[in-house]
Amino acid sequence: MLHADLDAFYASVEQLLDPSLRGRPIAVGGGVVLAASYEARAFGVRGGMPGRQARALCPALQFVGGNFREYQRLGDQVIEVLRDFTPLVERISIDEAFLDVAGSTHLFGPPPAIAQAIRQRVRDEIGLPISVGVAGTKHLAKIASQVAKPDGLVVVPVGGEQQFLHPLPVELIWGVGPAAAARLASAGVRTIGDLAATPNPYLRHLLGTAVGDKLSALASNIDPRTIERDHTASSVGAQAALGLRDATPELVHTTLGYLADRVAGRLRAGGCAGRTITVRVRFAQLRSVTRSVTLPAAICATIALTDIATELALTALRDHPDEPRISLLAVSVSQLVAQHVLQLELPLGLPDDELRPGTKAGAARSDADRSVDAIRTRFGRGAIGYAAIVFSDVRRVPEQFRELAERKSGRHGSD
DNA sequence: TCTGGGGTCCTAGGACCC
DNA sequence: TCTGGGGTCCTAGGACCC
């Protein structure tokens, strides 16, 4: 099993496109650092960090704008290189993938040779640094690629797993974040070796059964996961940060209208609809709550989704009268089902009282939705919709970034 | 000094059914 | 009558990942 992971991807693309940026500390983003070059990381700059903090750490830091279309294009090119070595490629984000090369060795040599060939081709043909981990399992390959960074190759030999893993910090394990790491540290568990020496019942007690079992399995090098080529999304959502604003019904309705429009449009474009609608409301100090409802029938109509989402949000606001201001609204649709256009045309057959007001047409693709979808197909998403009006006074992330983020975790097998 | 957007999975309690 | 067990679905919250 191989895990291939492009290094500081967005930043590396910027340095590829503009040679004057090479060797220099740069960050992609502005208000927040989306990616930092390794030169910037040397100063402590990290992804997700506020831009102001990054500048304080590294005064020479240069912010560059995001060429999001280029990120997508180059990320796709790299995946195509990987597919030259095996059809068993599982893309897990724009810049990383697992490969099962067990069936490719007669053509390309043993896995370490394949890994090196991949690195060479990506460097020569695309111009980007990529790190690769080679191991017997997905989990271990992923850890190996992290250890290999930047621009390296790490092979974990069969039988050498324990020796490789035991000195490493538990934070390198996929799924161990700040909360789990803190709990483990409080129990004196800092390395994977410590972890291996910790009895499973105690891990379960500390972190819950699922995480505890997962960590025990990893420590024993058990990972039954295989490559999944066609990954279908189980939810579709959108969110908008609002600064901190009075939670008026108008703001809630227009914002959720905009978000529902995005989500419903993507559902229709993907030929699906969903039964569970979830709304998240974030108040001051990042406190957030969710409200959800599961409908008897799946919906994908913009107006129905807007109405239900608004109602859920207003419920949440009523439950928190001490929170007059909100900083974010989010909508997500889950319990997805395939819903082809023909079915979407058939809203009939459900008793009126089974659905809430405004939802009756929910399963239908309304005339309005059909028209909007058609216009967007021809002229692009910006051609019609709420966005320009509603958010003229709100600082918004570039539309391209949203579209990129959508594809990041969407269907992978379609190209 | 709180900064973006899009996701997945787990847990716990309650409702409901057999 | 309040004593048993098991399973599924739903809701809300939280941790984590890219």
* pLDDT tens readout for residues A24-41: 999 998 778 999 999 999
Whether residues A301 and A329 fall in one domain: yes
User: Is A70 an annotated catalytic residue?
Assistant: no
Which of residues A219, A244, A260 is at a domain's end?
A219
For residue A57, the model assigns a pLDDT of 93
User: What's the rounded mean pLDDT across residues A123-127?
Assistant: 97
The answer to whether A291 CB sits below 7 Å from nucleic acid chain C is yes
Q: Which nucleotide is nearest to A330 (CA to C1')?
A: B5
In a domain, A178, yes or no: yes
> According to DSSP H, which parts of A178-301 are helical?
178-186, 192-196, 200-207, 209-219, 249-269
Closest CA to A362 of A292, A291, A309, A290: A309
Instruction: Give A155 CA → C16 C1' in Å.
Output: 26
* Percent of chain A scoring above 90 in pLDDT: 72
In a domain, A199, yes or no: yes
> Domain containing A42 — which CATH number?
3.40.1170.60
CA dist., res. A241 & res. A257, Å (int)? 14
For residue A400, the model assigns a pLDDT of 61
Closest CA to A8 of A32, A28, A36: A36
For residue A232, the model assigns a pLDDT of 87
Mean pLDDT score of chain A: 87
Closest CA to A4 of A103, A72, A78: A78
- pLDDT tier for residue A67 given thresholds of 50, 70 and 90: confident
Instruction: Give A365 CA → B5 C1' in Å.
Output: 27
Domain residues for the domain of A296 are 235-412
Q: Quick one: which residue's CA is nearest to B10's C1'?
A: A210
A386 versus A147: the higher-pLDDT residue is A147
> Domain containing A239 — which CATH number?
3.30.1490.100
Q: Which of A14, A39, A90, A96 is catalytic?
A: A96
In a domain, A126, yes or no: no
Whether residues A311 and A343 fall in one domain: yes
User: What's the rounded mean pLDDT across residues A287-294?
Assistant: 96
User: What's the rounded mean pLDDT across residues A337-363?
Assistant: 48
In a domain, A135, yes or no: no
CA dist., res. A253 & res. A358, Å (int)? 14
Say yes or no to pLDDT of A336 above 60: yes
Closest CA to A42 of A58, A65, A18, A22: A58
In a domain, A111, yes or no: no
Q: Which nucleotide is nearest to A405 (CA to C1')?
A: B6
Nucleotides of C under 7 A from a protein CB: 9-18
- pLDDT tier for residue A223 given thresholds of 50, 70 and 90: confident
For residue A386, the model assigns a pLDDT of 54
For residue A202, the model assigns a pLDDT of 93
For residue A48, the model assigns a pLDDT of 83
- pLDDT tier for residue A253 given thresholds of 50, 70 and 90: very high
DSSP A4-50: EEETTHHHHHHHHH-GGGTTS-EEEESSBEEEE-HHHHTTT--TT-B
Whether residues A196 and A293 fall in one domain: no
Instruction: Give A207 CA → B16 C1' in Å.
Output: 30
- pLDDT tier for residue A314 given thresholds of 50, 70 and 90: very high
In a domain, A16, yes or no: yes
In a domain, A118, yes or no: no
The answer to whether A270 CB sits below 7 Å from nucleic acid chain B is no
Q: Which nucleotide is nearest to A29 (CA to C1')?
A: B4
Instruction: Give A292 CA → C11 C1' in Å.
Output: 7
How large is the C-alpha radius of gyration of chain A? 24
> Domain containing A205 — which CATH number?
1.10.150.20
In a domain, A363, yes or no: yes
For residue A66, the model assigns a pLDDT of 82
Whether residues A286 and A199 fall in one domain: no
Whether residues A242 and A369 fall in one domain: yes
- pLDDT tier for residue A341 given thresholds of 50, 70 and 90: low
pTM: 0.86
For residue A49, the model assigns a pLDDT of 87
For residue A406, the model assigns a pLDDT of 59
User: What's the rounded mean pLDDT across residues A195-217?
Assistant: 92
Instruction: Give A291 CA → B14 C1' in Å.
Output: 16
The answer to whether A92 CB sits below 7 Å from nucleic acid chain B is no
For residue A373, the model assigns a pLDDT of 78
| Count of structural domains within chain A | 3
The answer to whether A95 CB sits below 7 Å from nucleic acid chain C is yes
For residue A343, the model assigns a pLDDT of 44
The answer to whether A138 CB sits below 7 Å from nucleic acid chain C is no
The answer to whether A406 CB sits below 7 Å from nucleic acid chain B is yes
Whether residues A341 and A370 fall in one domain: yes
The answer to whether A94 CB sits below 7 Å from nucleic acid chain C is yes
Residues sharing a CB contact under 8 Å with residue A378, sequence separation 6 or more, in sequence order: none
User: Which residues of A in 188-217 have their CB below 7 Å from strand B's atoms?
Assistant: 208-211
- pLDDT tier for residue A47 given thresholds of 50, 70 and 90: confident
- pLDDT tier for residue A347 given thresholds of 50, 70 and 90: very low
